[in-house]
Amino acid sequence: MIEREIEAILHASHDNIVITDEKGLVLRASQNCRDIYGHDVSELTGQTVYELQKRGIFSPSVTIEVLKKKKEVQLMQKTETGKVVMATGIPVYDEHQCMKRVISFSHDLTELQRLKEDYQQLEVKMKTYQLEVEELREQQSNEMVIRSESMKKVWSIINRVADSDATVVLLGESGVGKTAFAHALHYGSERKEEPFIEINCGAIPASLFESEMFGYEAGSFTGASTKGKIGKFELAHNGTLFLDEIGELPLDMQVKLLKVLQEKTVTKIGGERAKHVNFRLIVATNQPLEEMIKKGTFREDLFYRLHVIPITIPPLRERKEDIAALLYHVLHKQNEKYNMKKFFHAEALNLLLEHPWPGNVRELQNTIERLVLITDENSISPQDLPFYSENSSSGKEEWETLDTLTSQGMTLQQALAEVEKNWLVRAYRQCQTTYEMADVLGISQPTVVRRLRKYNIK
């Protein structure tokens, strides 16, 4: 009867059960041992656990550990079949406290272990994605190079409205960076994985504008493609449509743009079926749209449809705090791009800081790229600047040459100290904080503080 009960237990148990004697000889085993260990009962019974461990079937053997420690043991096994098993071994004693049997239970944890590993991999991926997103945000912020209070306010508004679908009008002179802010709005929104379609309204001839924006069906007019064309409105579906130089948009197209914004549908030239479109609209202009309305060159109803969130980007001459950081940022980028090691001569830097930059950030970027490419020496000198003249060196009194210093009877150490002091004075006048000074001078903020104290600059 006991034999039948033991057989029933071995057969019914979901765990694999192995029974050995006090010497580790396998007496019985469950029929499911093939599922876990890859071997039939007949291959295990009559074998010692020492032999089975040596063959890698029990790895490691929980029975051997029980025989060594004379107590219950629990451990993890890795089987030949690649399964992960939790094995528990229990000693069985007779009335004289002599060990007679060891019963081990093996529970397959492979699926649970796989789920755990999948979860851990998912956690690693999530951390990686978070780091990538943070790096992307940091890169976007760094590309703006924001130091001035006026630009910090602009960036704050951009961040607040980016995740909405509100139409934004970017205002400002040519070259202030309106396109860069349009990109920031797109990549800061939920539409960032969708298309960003940019159109310069002043670069497309009026006769082609409608076919570009709406597209056309095959053979709808002379010269049309036999395959037809998808318009920009459709291409921007679910994404962002950026209309730069919106003030250049022809009056007849202003009417059609207004209709698309109101009805959210477009119909191709030569087509009959209207198609639904869903895009976020951003426009930019350097023209005074209110004055254009008075002159009759811009529709008032379209103006109010677009003028939901106007953001004015100040010109570079009105945010001088940004110039020094921009100069070094662009120089670093161009050095990396062309594998150069160019740097600004002190007087050249002074002239660059004093320049009014009528072309704004675009002019600054083009100027630095040209200087990196055409200057013979690594040092970018005042004579290399396109706007340099003999009378333009306004900072000569502060950036004295080595000849002048030595003619005054100064030692090299004294001359270097004088140059260092002049650099600090210039940075002190140009920057608002010691952290900004550190960025401009290329030294740490504590060093800036110590140097200001050293030269009594207050």
Q: Are 177 and 360 in contact (CB under 8 A)?
A: yes
Q: Which of 293, 312, 331 is the last residue of a domain?
A: 312
Task: Note whether 47 and 141 are same-domain residues.
Answer: no
Task: Note whether 161 and 298 are same-domain residues.
Answer: yes
Q: Are 345 and 382 in contact (CB under 8 A)?
A: yes
Taking each helix axis from N to C end, the angle separating 178-187 and 110-144, rounded to the nearest 10 degrees, works out to: 160
What is the distance between the alpha carbons of residues 125 and 218, in angstroms, rounded to a whole number? 46
Question: Does some domain include residue 443?
Answer: yes
- H helix count then E strand count, the chain: 20, 16
Cis peptide before 60 (omega within 30 of 0): yes
Question: Does some domain include residue 235?
Answer: yes
Task: Note whether 250 and 220 are same-domain residues.
Answer: yes
Task: Note whether 228 and 333 are same-domain residues.
Answer: no
Please state whether the predicted TM-score (pTM) of the whole model is above 0.85: no
What is the distance between the alpha carbons of residues 420 and 77, in angstroms, rounded to a whole number? 69
Question: Does some domain include residue 86?
Answer: yes
Query: Across 140-208, where does the E strand assignment appear?
Result: 168-171, 196-200
Q: Return per-residue pLDDT of the chain as tens, 458 residues.
A: 556 656 666 665 667 888 899 888 988 888 777 777 778 878 888 888 898 888 888 888 889 999 999 899 988 887 877 778 888 999 998 888 889 899 888 887 776 666 666 666 666 655 555 554 444 444 444 457 788 889 999 999 999 999 999 999 999 999 999 999 999 999 999 999 999 999 999 888 887 888 899 988 876 665 556 678 899 999 999 999 999 999 999 999 999 999 999 999 999 988 888 999 999 999 999 999 999 999 999 999 999 999 999 999 999 999 888 898 889 889 989 999 999 999 988 788 888 988 999 999 999 999 999 999 999 888 898 889 988 765 454 444 444 444 555 545 556 677 677 777 878 887 777 777 887 788 777 788 888 888 888 888 87
Six-digit token string for 423: 């650099």
User: What DSSP line would sit under 33-101, residue for residue?
Assistant: HHHHHSS-HHHHTTSBHHHHHHTTSSSS-HHHHHHHHSS-EEEEEE-TTS-EEEEEEEEEE-TTS-EEE
Q: What is the pLDDT of residue 262?
A: 94
**Tokens 């089975």, residue?**
52
Q: What is the pLDDT of residue 397?
A: 44
What is the distance between the alpha carbons of residues 436 and 455, in angstroms, rounded to a whole number? 19
Q: Are 83 and 114 in contact (CB under 8 A)?
A: no
**Sheet architecture: strand order including 240-244:** 196-200, 240-244, 280-285, 168-171, 309-312
Q: What is the pLDDT of residue 429?
A: 73
Question: Does some domain include residue 306?
Answer: yes
Task: Note whether 198 and 338 are same-domain residues.
Answer: no
Q: What is the pLDDT of residue 146?
A: 82
User: What DSSP line would sit under 131-154, residue for residue?
Assistant: HHHHHHHHHHHHHH---SHHHHHH
What is the distance between the alpha carbons of residues 227 and 211, in angstroms, rounded to a whole number? 14
Q: Which of 334, 355, 384 is the last residue of a domain?
A: 384
Six-digit token string for 345: 């001569």
Of the candidates 342, 320, 346, the one whose C-alpha atom is nearest the C-alpha of residue 332 is 342
Question: Does some domain include residue 421?
Answer: yes
What is the distance between the alpha carbons of residues 228 and 419, in angstroms, rounded to a whole number? 67
Question: Does some domain include residue 114?
Answer: no
DSSP 405: H
Structurally, the chain folds into a number of domains equal to: 4
Q: CB under 8 Å to 189, separation ≥6 — which residues?
A: 162, 163, 164, 240, 280
The CATH number of the domain holding residue 189 is 3.40.50.300
What is the distance between the alpha carbons of residues 436 and 346, in angstroms, rounded to a whole number? 18
Task: Note whether 176 and 308 are same-domain residues.
Answer: yes
Domain hosting 325: range is 316-384
Strands 26-29 and 73-78, sheet pairing: unpaired
Q: What is the pLDDT of residue 243?
A: 96
Q: CB under 8 Å to 284, separation ≥6 — which residues?
A: 169, 170, 171, 172, 178, 179, 182, 242, 243, 244, 245, 246
What is the distance between the alpha carbons of residues 62 and 75, in angstroms, rounded to a whole number? 7
Q: How many CB atoms lie under 10 A from the CB of residue 12?
A: 8
